[in-house]
Amino acid sequence: MKYLKFMFLTFTLSFAATSCVTQKNGKEEFRYLADEFADLRVIRYKIPGWENLSFNQKEYIYHLSEAAKAGRDIFWDQNFKHGLKVRKVLEKIFENYNGEKESQDYKEFEIYAKRVFFSNGIHHHYAEDKFTPGCSQEYFGQLLTQSGQEEISSDILPIIYDPNLYPQRKNISGKGDLLLGSSVNFYENVTREEAEKFYAKMEDPSDVTPVSYGLNSRLVKTNGTISEEVYKIDGLYGPAIKQIIFHLENALKCAENDTQKEYISLLTQYYKTGNLKTWDKYNVAWVKDTSSQVDFINGFIETYNDPLGMKATWESVVNFKDIEASKRTDIISSNAQWFEDNSPINPEFKKKEVKGVSAKVITVAQLGGDCHPTSPLGINLPNADWIRKEHGSKSVTIANISEAYDMASQEAPKSMTTEFSWDQAEIDLLKKYGTLTNNIHTDLHECLGHGSGQLKEGTSPNALKEFSSPLEEARADIFALYYMADPKLVDLGILPDSEAYKASYLSYIRNGIFTQFVRIDLGKNVTQAHMQARKLISEWCYENGQKDNVIEKKEKDGKTYFVINDYTKLRRLFGELLKELQRVKSQGDYNAGKDLIETYAVDIDQDLHKELKERYASLDLKPYGGFINPDIIPVTENGRITDYKVEYPSDFLQQMLDYGKKYSFL
């Protein structure tokens, strides 16, 4: 699971970047913020410690990074069946259009194009809704004509402009069929009922090591017959998968050890055959590798974008271990059994023996697919429950991405913290402990939260269906929140004192119940899994703590604030909800899970939402952030590669256009 922690951090950027280099004492100073447009900002990240890697490790990372970019087209096509067509139209306009570029219409076109590149499609990367250009349809048609694409105008313009055509990436309207009303490209002419019946026939309730049915395929109905189009070298996405395999096989030649070579071989075999049993073998071998410094993920992994929560998008992250920072996560993972034993959940749902839990802090070298431009700040894998139970899981907190966000926010004169804190005491608490507790929350969420608990024997891993992702994120979130206040964290030296955890509680509740909705248009509801998880937890605790006034809604100077009056009682509420969320997952209680989501996680108070948007607008901030990848470049002498250097591009649009030329295989 990917933990998008940056989605609830209170960012403080409020300036526009015209250059990514400034002068300080006569020296060039690295600028993190590269661009801002619409509701987005693009940030650069460094790769600290690169110079300390061996030549072999650099070469290994280089080939893994090429593999991370080779699957880019796959993710675009998964997001929307016409996504690649739209992207190539935009690329061709930039390449061939030679007309004026100073008008407001052209600037609006450029903003739209950057939004499409950022979201890997025409639907908002987070809010699911289709967005349209700020320039007129007539002007866009002129761009098509003047770039040599007039013949496709009648096909492409409705896709881009018609609000009733492909309105949502996932059908979150509650109207019509869940699959037929979604624009994601996992199903073709297949209804929800048909898809569920198709996979129900495959499942064997007695199988204790079930594959992740449907994970790497597209389900299509042709002439009344439903079948899977499997992602593999001689199947769907074959040309891109061929390139991924090519770079993985080059990486294998310079792997750090035989363990890495083993699971790279399994991964390439999986890409060649599409066999999900091989995918499980790869994950078992991969999760056991806790000693290598360089690591990566590459594959069809997360199911957030599938309305049914079964089919995975393609993604990749290449990284190496931050040895010093990992001392904290080493402590957490080595005490995993204590946390499991002392969890407030029912004993029957606890793991008697926690196996193979490992955690580390990493430095990302390259992001790809569903992890680029937007990046997670934490990852916990594998996702298969039986592998977690029998073989363990690996968790990471991504240090240099967190650092890039923090560094980019330091120059801002205005902040969400100042605007939405009740008093100076709250501001001081967040300034003192906010960054630390956010990082630890990520550690606990990824390392222990996702890996905790177990399914009741006979429970299908797909029992919670479309509600599985938000419920799982809520379960991991609240596990972390419950333990943030435990004296054990102070005893272990993870938290400095018994007051620090309050910063995490304060920022989480405020964000979940109020401030995170700045990312949603007025009149809309919450659709994204992580946002639903935070809202569920915060709203449930607010409602169930009313009798004791645990969380109080206050007003001052016409502004609304949410204030925690009793942190101890709030922790008890976290424990109660954690117990219920684990029961829902362990028993596969679909109706109870559905009720939690629909009651607490979707609907927004419209008056509160309007106030929030107005207050946020005065801060001139951008609610979403993503990244420009560094370039890893071979250094040659006399025709031989002698080193690999890192360069930091500053132009997001140019990187997207360069990727379109170099990594377009579908």
> Residue 465 gets which letter from DSSP?
G
Q: Which two tokens stand for residue 574?
A: 């976290």
Burial class (CB in 10 A: 0-12, 13-18, 19+), 281: middle
Cα–Cα distance measured from residue 127 to residue 121, given in angstroms and rounded to the nearest whole number: 13
Alpha-carbon torsion angle 222, 223, 226, 227, nearest 10: -50
Confidence label for 521 from pLDDT (cuts 50, 70 and 90)? confident
Using CA atoms, how far apart are residues 605 and 362, in angstroms rounded to an integer? 39
Pairing of strands 551-556, 624-628: unpaired
Tell me how far apart the 2 most distant CA atoms of the chain are, in Å: 77
Share of the chain above pLDDT 90, in %: 84
The tens digit of pLDDT for each residue in 619-633 reads 888 888 999 999 999
Q: What is the pLDDT of residue 14?
A: 32
Can you tell me the distance from the alpha carbon of 272 to that of 274, in angstroms, rounded to the nearest whole number? 6
Q: What is the mean pLDDT of residues 68-83?
A: 98
Euclidean distance between CA atoms 163 and 22, whole angstroms: 42
| Residue at 259 is within a domain | yes
Is pLDDT larger for residue 371 or for residue 439? 371
CB 384 within 8 A of CB 283: yes
Cβ atoms within 10 Å of 661's Cβ, excluding its own: 9
89 part of a folded domain: no
> How far apart (Å, rounded) are the C-alpha atoms in residues 448 and 339?
8
Asked whether residue 113 is domain-assigned, the answer is no
Please give the distance of CA 571 from its chain centroid, rounded to a whole number.
27
Q: What is the mean pLDDT of residues 209-217?
A: 97
Structure-token match 């109660």, residue found: 576
In a domain? residue 180 = no
Number of H helices, E strands in the chain: 24, 18
Say what the pLDDT of residue 358 is. 85
Residue 6 has pLDDT above 50, yes or no: no
Q: Hey, what amino acid is at 286?
A: W
Q: Output the pTM of the full model.
A: 0.84
446 DSSP 8-state letter: I
Confidence (pLDDT) at 202: 94
Reported as half-sphere exposure (CB side, CA atoms, 13 A), residue 140 has a value of 25
Q: H-helix or E-strand containing 581? A: helix 567-587
CB atoms within 10 A of CB 68: 28
Residues 6+ apart with CB under 8 A from 573: 540, 541, 544, 545, 550
- Tell me what pLDDT residue 5 has: 42
Structure tokens at 291: 């000693």
Q: Which residues have C-beta within 8 Å of that of residue 79, sequence separation ≥ 6? A: 119, 120, 121, 123, 169, 183, 184, 185, 305, 313
The yes-or-no verdict on residue 20 having pLDDT over 80 is: no
> Does the pLDDT of residue 11 top 90, yes or no?
no
Asked, for residue 349, whether it belongs to a domain, the answer is yes
pLDDT for 84 beyond 80: yes
Confidence of residue 456 (pLDDT cuts 50, 70, 90): very high
Instruction: Say whether pLDDT at 23 is over 50.
Output: no
State whether the Cα torsion 289-290-291-293 is positive or negative.
positive
How far is 208 from 176, CA to CA, in rounded Å? 35
Q: Which residues, 6 or more positions from 159, have their beta carbon under 8 angstroms from its beta carbon?
A: 82, 85, 86, 122, 165, 166
CA distance 319 to 399: 10
List, for residues 106-133, the tens digit of each pLDDT value: 999 999 999 999 999 999 998 899 999 9
Q: How far apart are CA 115 and CA 239, in angstroms?
A: 27
Beta bridge pairs of residue 378: 3, 397
Counted domains in the chain: 1
pLDDT at residue 415, as a whole number: 78
DSSP string of 320-354? EE-TTTHHHHHHHHHTHHHHHHT-SS-GGGS-SS-
What is the tens place of the pLDDT at every residue in 245-295?
Answer: 999 999 999 999 999 999 999 999 999 999 999 999 999 999 999 999 999
**Does some domain include residue 66?**
no
Does residue 581 carry a pLDDT above 90?
Answer: yes
**Mean predicted confidence (pLDDT) in 416-430:** 93
Residue-level pLDDT at 16:
33
Residue 15 has pLDDT above 50, yes or no: no
Q: Is the peptide bond before 382 cis (omega within 30 degrees of 0)?
A: yes
Taking the C-alpha atoms of 655, 661, 662 and 666 in order, what is their torsion angle to the nearest 10 degrees?
A: 120
Cis check: omega of the bond before 373, within 30 degrees of 0 = yes
Which tokens is 623 given? 């609610």
Q: For residue 343, give the nearest of 579, 581, 587 by alpha carbon.
A: 579
Is residue 424 over pLDDT 80?
yes
**What φ, ψ does residue 365 adopt, rounded to 5°?**
-105, -25
pLDDT tens across 304-354, in order? 999 999 999 999 999 999 998 899 989 999 999 999 999 999 999 999 999
Label each residue of 4-54 as H, E or C: CHHHCCCCCCCCCCCCCEEEECCEEEECCEEEEECCEEEEECCCCCHHHCC
Residue 650 lies in a domain: no
- The answer to whether the beta carbons of residues 296 and 316 sit under 8 Å apart is yes
Q: Cβ of 633: how many Cβ atoms within 10 Å?
A: 12
- Cα(397)–Cα(30) distance, integer angstroms: 23
Place 26 in a pLDDT band, splitting at 50, 70 and 90. Answer: low
For residue 129, tell me if it sits in a domain.
no
Beta-carbon contacts of 492 under 8 Å, excluding residues fewer than 6 positions away, are: 331, 332, 335
The pLDDT assigned to 2 comes to 64
Judge whether 29 and 23 are in contact, CB under 8 Å: yes
The pLDDT, as a whole number, for residue 55 is: 98
From 23-27, 215-219, 283-287, 288-292, the region with the lowest mean pLDDT: 23-27
CA distance 110 to 116: 10
Phi and psi (nearest 5°) for 236? -65, 135
Residue 295 is part of which domain span?
2-55+235-626
Across the chain, what does the average pLDDT equal?
Answer: 93
Under a CB-based contact definition with an 8 Å cutoff, are residues 35 and 630 in contact? no
- Are the C-beta atoms of 76 and 122 separated by less than 8 Å? no
Using the predicted structure, report yes or no on whether residue 21 has a pLDDT greater than 50: no
pLDDT over 90 (residue 410): no
